[in-house]
Structure 1
């Protein structure tokens, strides 16, 4: 449907969430489970040629941290914005992996170690999404697409970049590992797949050319993962990372690493557990804890089990005086605010003390949050970005305190403010057209680097790419948020992006400078991948760059998929070709048709769950977030007519009434009956049913089969022949977590809650997936997220990840057998009677008649498998959260045990 009017909604602060893959504590402090993400991103085309996009921005919820309170606006509004991943979406992603309690460090490492000794089946996985992904594909410029925004080729979030003067560029995916280019960007090769963690905190080249890889994504949003420490690759131009290249011991395992800094022969690490240091030459021996403001909250401390523990020792960056490495300033503090937030320096007695004054750069706890430093190559300038918890709590449109410079080159200043949100807003920002200010997500978006040839030339990253060539006196925005609000923009597919130049994707996380064939370029990493331009590139009269180049050429795949769907391609004459589609973090919905050489994006915003008609892959149902569902019956290919006639739209909003922050999960479950593609189930507070399939045109066509109860929301749904299973949680936070399973009929009869006591057979953890026997709906498998009680301190955490019932849920049997203790995400009964299970570590297979599992195939990267689906081509498809979509030909497994055994 066409959005008739421009929508404006006030935004809220991020949920208080620290990243964890069952390794670090995660807790939403003083925040309900419905706090949205402050980013204005979802575009909706209007019904007239040339009119501006209306955005969908979620309102509602309350606080953002233990110390400050946000202003709420319009609770329960539908919609949201494209990058909600980093607030409520990320909080819920972590809840699923940690509830009902605190997860001890080492859980993931233990599971990975067990994986190494497990046998494998024969066969290999094939990489499906190894093609460029065009977010501006003109084929899909319809109602619910962001096409023509200007981001071009995208991949998943890039959180670390390093580059040298010989054309080598290294890019780190949020959960995709490290990729190397020998050509100044492009023709990428993965070089870290043998490591136990592919989560990127930062990448750095030191003075001797070694590449340092800090694992543990440096964003305190829960779609990121903690890491297993810091690794050093001595010869990055030729080698690959190996587990034995880890620096020190296990001290930094299960942490987030925000920054690595070098000085005085040491490497310093700013982590979620304080500031650590290590010799930069002798790489063995343990890391030294330099400073933790609240050490009693660290693992082993007297308050380690406190729900606030994850937020009590966060260090964001380190500034080392290039003229005197003994002078160091630590930027420490939780983005939502805490009494320990501030800058710290070493006193004469060797202790770390608060720095009282730094000039314009604030030092009080209320105004020091997420901080990024950068020093010029000649040591004459230090720069800093400061996000303020107080500003974030009081101003719904920004969290930025300012950008600052120390012209003495000392981290102790004096510092002078060179930009605030108003100065940046008036420098060509695209955000002001949307009613927001630069820095609205400064708690999540920060990058900063100084041109090595010019100490007054600086690239800064917030939501947009910013640039100053005169030390901050004036600024431009070479990488605006998008092009929709500019006079140059045109929706006409024939004009591609009109007269607007390509920009970068939004939400900046990394920046670096490098040279290739004698020319210097700047590289930026963001939620859409990696882009480059000449360091002193061309720009239009507004200061918007005209020479950005996307480096997402398809050889780098860090796409973070929540879901996947597969159906026959009606345009394929052979009858064998398929369409593969999936929902992505911050990169909409991808579509890959049978003979495409480039993927397209037919829905914008965040992509969530997906339904694809196996008999006609152009019939697609896409969930935006919170059950905001859209449907197309022509792959969402635009026909041009809708520009002047809304009735000619090819995408339709069909969200059930639970399209609401309080009535559905951020990624809410939807499914169809495998024996009747026209029967759909959607889970929010209610279990919704509709029988029109892809011909549905309105949310009013859903009926409520069952009310799960106040405060309860569905986490998984499945149906066969009119019988429905719905897993739910509520509360879904660690504190007070509860879960259940409701069973009933699509016609609303026979509904009841199964008896699942906390101390019973089934764990009191997040229910992630069902698989119902198509021959007998009383035969069901259920998968559980999180870690067992070995690692989880919480009521009823239980043991096991996969359970089976033959009597409709009256009794259950644990069939986890030899599975590693790691979050399980998706279970499928295969056509041969075997089982496939996706986890946060790998995919596993149990053959018919067997009890133990094997690792399923080879080549699948060690990253989270979010969803498994069987395609009409006989292949199993895996949506991974960091390395795209992969497929496995199930015929390789045969009908017995293991046709292609490979131990």
Structure 2
């Protein structure tokens, strides 16, 4: 039976206030000192307790204003076009799928940090139908029978090695993605699912997960009864840290609606991904009142994220599973009476394939024609043919499953979305998976460009390894090892020598363009006690046989990465470091001066900057009072002067004057802020050019200034507003390459600015930037 004591009637105007809990450092099951996500950690290193969608919206607005100014004043810069280099054949994390009910072979997908995409050939190729200039974080898509498309922004999966970018509500398109309008729930942060009433498609439910970092806001289950024009909350969460992650409508009785709620909060030092708010609910009156389902289900606080699904061929059959608050799989349940009672099935943790992070998945799907044919999303795709009495893996697809849909117009056809992209099966999901061939929403951490030929590139991708693009723009890419793909490098003189790194500095050296054999570089060859998720590995630009690798100690190789010697002490603060926690106290970036191989600059995750002018015999720490104290994302040295160097920083200003870009003119002794005028967003990469330009990559675009900062301009047009994580410069062709986290890799040719090289001597502290930018012309 249902626990009727929890029933409550809700409307938008009469919803009770949500209590704000204290932000304690422990959950009901104890502290959860689990590893911090790399991208989240650096963006919160400014002391922030949240990564709100409002911060990113504000930064995008500032970027748009800067772009408009560039178009009016520096047209040659604004009119430069970014071109997509690739890859088309790797893909990236997908979180939801909508099948067009009218158009054969047409589907829409939500890419985690890459917007909404459409395929008109049953998922073989995709084109973007989401505005490039909008936020790219997505959570859900759905389509009515007459072709109205809904998109919910913000990902409900709370980051792996990456980040959960927040969304700003629900969007609607009445022309299959050609145009969009926002229609509500701007403070929901993440939309995990839509459910459309099949008897009245103006009635649509939305599962709002809420802000991962801040309690309160728009959470729970919301309903529109006018096709999205207005929304009201119909199921409030039991506390301020709980949001809805699933909502399901009974197709035979649309008055019966089910919902899954998840109690979760991400704090700077921990995850609390479970608690008393995690629960399953049912409404029998179209969402007016709700009751928590408890009979046969756990009621204690050690509940993480729930997955919930209904069998369309027998709506009395329900399936559900739950993880523990700490993350591992806990139990699987089945109901044969519409949720009145539940029975635990004998599914084991190994069969569930949830690893230690069940909160990364949270989805179940049932064959519309066969109630016993159940698919469980996990690291592997798991299938049961006996009504969830047992599960076995279905092979042939990438790891980490998130979405599945059957195509009612094509019997036996099933679509699947996971961390590797989009797949189609014509065997009812039992196998024979075919991967999409054109899906341009890969999440990249880094990219490198061959100095011998800028059409040769290698890049490291989130959950998609290290990859080689040696076939030109639009050509096929090859996988070249790694787990998550992090730092990648091409030898400056020999593109057959390639380096690739997995997370935490597990790197290799290949003399076969990244292919086997691969000689390992890492814990066994270098000295460090801690290594960053993206461990820096760099060439000395003055000698390609010299390389640097840094954990918390700088290591140097003089034989192109074959052997290594430590040349520094610990350059970090050293913690805090729980053995199971994120390895705080690591070097994040290192750069050698092109004109002086004895000069190095180093930045750390705990906000330190160091320099040496004698190849590490003595190290000098920059006075911390000069610095913002946030995560140092990149250091770079001017190509013509070893005393001029740049450092970029993550985090937000949050109303302060905290710098994002700093410069030294005296070899590291003093540093000044030269980033004023940039959007208030993390700066992830910096490139100084030989003719006096400075290029930076940020979470909201690529910008350009003179070598000494000052006025900034937007570089180029139509670069999607996915975070730009890494920039690489090819001086002979003036090609700048940008690696984005969700929209692949893009190139642009930077125009020449004669004033930079002919009128602005590097030793003149009074030069201005206006003369540089106004002189830019097509190169």
Relative to the length of structure 1, the TM-score reads: 0.71
Task: Please tell me the root mean square deviation across aligned C-alpha atoms, in Å.
Answer: 3.3
Distance 2:139 2:262 in 1: 17
- Equivalent position SS for 1:114: helix
Partner of 2:622: 754
Residue by residue, what CA displacement relative to the aligned partner does 1:540-562 show, whole Å, maximum 9, x if unpaired?
xxxxx2x11011x1x31121111
Residue by residue, what CA displacement relative to the aligned partner does 1:633-670 show, whole Å, maximum 9, x if unpaired?
221334xxxxxxxxxxx311122669799612111222
Report if aligned partners of 2:527, 2:555 keep a CA contact under 8 Å in 1.
no
1:708 aligns to 2:571 (yes or no): yes
Equivalent positions of 1:29-48 (< 5 A) are none
Equivalent positions of 1:13-24 (< 5 A) are none
Report if aligned partners of 2:736, 2:750 keep a CA contact under 8 Å in 1.
yes
Residue by residue, what CA displacement relative to the aligned partner does 1:574-618 show, whole Å, maximum 9, x if unpaired?
xx5642001111111100114593210112311111222222222
- Equivalent position SS for 1:818: coil
Distance 2:117 2:208 in 1: 23
Partner of 1:92: 38
1:668 aligns to 2:535 (yes or no): yes
Equivalent positions of 1:441-456 (< 5 A) are 441-456=357-372
Partner of 1:562: 445
The number of residue pairs the alignment matches comes to 692
Distance 1:776 1:438 in 2: 52
Report if aligned partners of 1:658, 1:664 keep a CA contact under 8 Å in 2.
no
Distance 1:656 1:777, change over 3 A: farther
Distance 1:614 1:379, change over 3 A: same
1:292 aligns to 2:215 (yes or no): no
User: 1:683 offset after TM fit, Å?
Assistant: 2.3
Partner of 2:458: 581
User: 1:177 offset after TM fit, Å?
Assistant: 1.1
Partner of 1:108: 56
Distance 1:786 1:29 in 2: 23
1:158 aligns to 2:94 (yes or no): yes
Report if aligned partners of 2:132, 2:719 keep a CA contact under 8 Å in 1.
no
Distance 1:108 1:247, change over 3 A: same
Partner of 2:139: 201
Report if aligned partners of 1:375, 1:450 keep a CA contact under 8 Å in 2.
yes
Residue of 217, 224, 232 corresponding to 2:172? 232
Distance 1:203 1:373, change over 3 A: same
Equivalent positions of 1:826-845 (< 5 A) are 826-845=685-704
1:332 aligns to 2:262 (yes or no): yes
Distance 2:134 2:363 in 1: 26
Distance 1:418 1:659 in 2: 49
Report if aligned partners of 1:316, 1:333 keep a CA contact under 8 Å in 2.
no
Residue of 475, 478, 482 corresponding to 1:600? 478
Partner of 1:11: none
- Equivalent position SS for 2:56: helix
User: 1:726 offset after TM fit, Å?
Assistant: 1.2
- Equivalent position SS for 1:363: coil
Relative to the length of structure 2, the TM-score reads: 0.81
User: 1:866 offset after TM fit, Å?
Assistant: 0.5
Partner of 2:761: none
Partner of 1:825: 684
User: 1:893 offset after TM fit, Å?
Assistant: 6.0
- Equivalent position SS for 2:343: strand
1:681 aligns to 2:557 (yes or no): no
Greater RCO between the two (CA within 8 Å, min separation 6)?
A: 1
- Equivalent position SS for 1:116: helix
- Equivalent position SS for 2:458: strand
Report if aligned partners of 1:96, 1:786 keep a CA contact under 8 Å in 2.
yes
Partner of 1:521: 413
User: 1:407 offset after TM fit, Å?
Assistant: 2.2
Distance 1:848 1:330 in 2: 53
Report if aligned partners of 1:704, 1:748 keep a CA contact under 8 Å in 2.
yes
Distance 1:657 1:28 in 2: 41
User: 1:697 offset after TM fit, Å?
Assistant: 2.3
1:851 aligns to 2:710 (yes or no): yes
Partner of 2:558: 691
User: 1:898 offset after TM fit, Å?
Assistant: 5.5
Partner of 1:257: 191
Report if aligned partners of 1:589, 1:606 keep a CA contact under 8 Å in 2.
yes
User: 1:185 offset after TM fit, Å?
Assistant: 0.8
Answer with 285-294 or 457-466: which moved more. 285-294
User: 1:707 offset after TM fit, Å?
Assistant: 2.1
Residue of 67, 81, 84 corresponding to 1:127? 84
Report if aligned partners of 2:527, 2:566 keep a CA contact under 8 Å in 1.
no
Partner of 2:742: 882
- Equivalent position SS for 1:102: coil
Residue by residue, what CA displacement relative to the aligned partner does 1:194-221 show, whole Å, maximum 9, x if unpaired?
4521112122223443222111112111
Distance 1:454 1:832, change over 3 A: same
Distance 1:829 1:568, change over 3 A: closer
User: 1:372 offset after TM fit, Å?
Assistant: 1.9
Equivalent positions of 1:763-774 (< 5 A) are 763-774=628-639
Partner of 1:358: 295
